[in-house]
Amino acid sequence: MFKRFQKDILCIEKNSFITPWKLPQFVDELNNPYSHMWGLIEGEELIGYICFWMVVDEVHIMNIAIRADMRRKGMAKLLLSELIRFAKSRNMSKIWLEVRPSNKAALSLYKKMGFKKVAIRKKYYSDTNEDAIVMALDLK
Ligand SMILES: CC(C)(COP(=O)(O)OP(=O)(O)OC[C@H]1O[C@@H](n2cnc3c(N)ncnc32)[C@H](O)[C@@H]1OP(=O)(O)O)[C@@H](O)C(=O)NCCC(=O)NCCS
Confidence of residue 1 (pLDDT cuts 50, 70, 90): confident
The 10s digit of each residue's pLDDT in 46-92 is 999 999 999 999 999 999 999 999 999 999 999 999 999 999 999 99
If you measure from the C-alpha of residue 71 to the centroid of ligand 1, how many angstroms do you get, rounded to a whole number? 7
If you measure from the C-alpha of residue 85 to the centroid of ligand 1, how many angstroms do you get, rounded to a whole number? 19
> What domains are defined for the chain?
2-138 (3.40.630.30)
The whole-number average pLDDT for the span 125-132 is: 96
The whole-number average pLDDT for the span 3-29 is: 97
* pTM as predicted: 0.97
**Pocket lining: 14 vs ligand 1, CB cutoff 6 Å:** no
**Pocket lining: 3 vs ligand 1, CB cutoff 6 Å:** no
Mean pLDDT computed over every residue of the chain: 97
Among the listed residues 98, 124, 125, 130, the single catalytic one is: 98
Which DSSP string corresponds to 111-136?
A: HHTT-EEEEEEEEEETTTTEEEEEEE
Secondary structure of 20-58 in HEC code, one letter for each residue: CCCHHHHHHHHCCCCEEEEEEEECCEEEEEEEEEEECCE
